[in-house]
Amino acid sequence: MHRTCLLLPIISWEILNRLVQSIIFQFNAPLLVVYLLTFKVRIMKFTIHQRYITLAQVLILPLAITFSSCKKLIEIPANPNDKVSTPRVFSDSLNVLGALTGIYATFGTGGFGGSINTGYTSIYTSLASDELVALNPDEFNTNAIQVTSGTVSQIWRSAYAGIYQCNAFIEGLAASNSVSASFRQQVTGEVLTARSLYYFHLVNQFGDVPIITGTDFKVNALEKRMPADSVYGFILKDLTSAAGMLKVQYPSPGRMRPNLHVVRALLAKVYLYRGAWQQAADLSGQIIQSGTYELVEPSKTFLDGSKEALWQMPSLSTFAGIVDAMSLVPWSNTIAPNYYLSSYLTDAFEANDLRKQAWLSLNNVVSGTTTTPYYYPGKYKKTDVYATPLEGYMFFRLSEQYLINAEALAKLNQLDAARLSLNKVRNRAGLLNTTAVSQEEVLAAIEKERFTELFAEQGNRWYDLKRIGKITSVLGARKTGFTATDALFPIPLNEINTNINMTQNPGY
């Protein structure tokens, strides 16, 4: 070798993963993510002798790329004069993929808290419903949320930061002629899907919300709240467009980037929420019958690469595991968790339900002569990013589509078909077929199954109670001082103070 270089000897996948993750998060550079992830795939194809490579090849080339344009794409400008996207970001497909990776990074899977799509929604809506109980007084758990709540403000800001990214990407790509039409269509469909998920959570947590479609700071700062019906209409429009752009094949290895079935999954969910039973049944049925996905045993459902996953995000953080685990799993098995499962939830599991063993973790806390059992969510268990087996954050999975299919068919009074889909979920959990007969009984069985299958996951329980009209009757009986206005979070006070067109939710 005629030049001085650092050698990487025979590289294991684990060592390479650690190197890549460390570099990615040291520099916080989306383009670097794409380069290194591509590099990982390429190196695993090399022969044993070809794995002797220079460390300079790993570091210098990506570092030579200008990352400032991608960083600007992520950040919301402090004033209207800031430029969000530059021609360089969209100068070729690699740079575009870098910007796209930045969008997915904002979804947030590492560290504490997370984005509206991860920890914030899963944890705080569970506290607001009847799933989680806080060990110490908590504003969500006691329905005492203030308009000055920092958590609510962060939920709101994380959503609109992500939406801003999506808008900047769509605008920048539309102005570029540097990529092929097929590539442009693919990545635009992905971003429309991501933006739709942000708005889905916003409308379910806050009700009427502003619909932001551009990056003009002056315009966005004065947008008024739009009716929930209009927000759902906007979501359906975006998803319908995305469905025409994406293919059933995933655009990259793994299931981090959405395909057509992911779009169908969110469409099916939106149609279910809107009472469009036939559309919900048809779309969920297409996913089920595609043969792409399969139910796996509960202990393997949330592992990285799960065959049940439609859309699953790996944890790329070098200092933390899945965000929900970081927030919910106690640091010791001898202490009480900060958030534990309510008796309403634990009692809802039937005897011999495999999910109870796989998804409910238990700490027995001893105080003197008294031992108190605390169950807490155990769908995600890994607080160490390097702990094996690896886990992946789940946005959509097959069992939810079976339950959507079952409910939609039951609403259409196709009860035999509804029971078939319901029983798929029950049988996977080691349970016998449902004994429900009438339409009312089948719907009640599905509601209960959604409680035990989807608990502490993507806000499903809190959203369900609202959409089926039971939130006041159920939570009113289970939570002290609950009123109908507690079905929505308050609009953050700062948004009210800085936007003369912004209004507050009733009760706040």
277 pLDDT higher than 90:
yes
CA 129 from chain centre, in angstroms, equals 19
Distance CA 223, CA 217 (A): 10
pLDDT digits (tens, 9 = 90+) for 87-144: 678 889 999 999 998 898 887 643 345 678 888 899 999 999 999 999 999 999 999 9
pLDDT digits (tens, 9 = 90+) for 438-490: 999 999 999 999 999 999 999 999 999 999 999 999 999 999 999 999 999 99
358 pLDDT higher than 50:
yes
Long-range contact set of residues 279-284: C-beta below 8 Å, sequence gap at least 24:
280/404, 280/405, 280/407, 280/408, 281/405, 281/408, 281/409, 281/412, 281/414, 284/401, 284/402, 284/404, 284/405, 284/408
Distance CA 119, CA 215 (A): 26
Question: What is the chain's length?
Answer: 508
pLDDT band at 56 (very low <50, low <70, confident <90, very high): very low
Q: How many CB atoms lie within 10 A of CB 9?
A: 8
Average pLDDT, integer, range 405-434:
99
Confidence at residue 242, expressed as pLDDT on a 0 to 100 scale? 99
Distance CA 82, CA 85 (A): 9
Q: Apex CA 427: angle with CA 424 and CA 432, to 5°?
A: 120
Distance CA 323, CA 325 (A): 5
Average pLDDT, integer, range 411-425:
99
Domain boundaries, the chain: 1-65, 309-395
Retrieve residue 305's tokens. Answer: 């690469």
Confidence at residue 111, expressed as pLDDT on a 0 to 100 scale? 39
Average pLDDT, integer, range 265-290:
99
Distance CA 208, CA 231 (A): 7
Confidence at residue 112, expressed as pLDDT on a 0 to 100 scale? 46
**The model's pTM:** 0.85
Least confident among 66-70, 110-114, 253-257: 66-70
Distance CA 117, CA 197 (A): 8
30 pLDDT higher than 70:
no
Sort strands 309-314 and 392-397 into parallel, antiparallel or unpaired. antiparallel
DSSP codes, 226-247: B-HHHHHHHHHHHHHHHHTT--
Nearest-10 crossing angle of helices 398-411, 277-288: 140
Confidence at residue 388, expressed as pLDDT on a 0 to 100 scale? 83
Contact 235, 213 (CB under 8 A): no
Confidence at residue 115, expressed as pLDDT on a 0 to 100 scale? 77
Average pLDDT, integer, range 268-288:
99
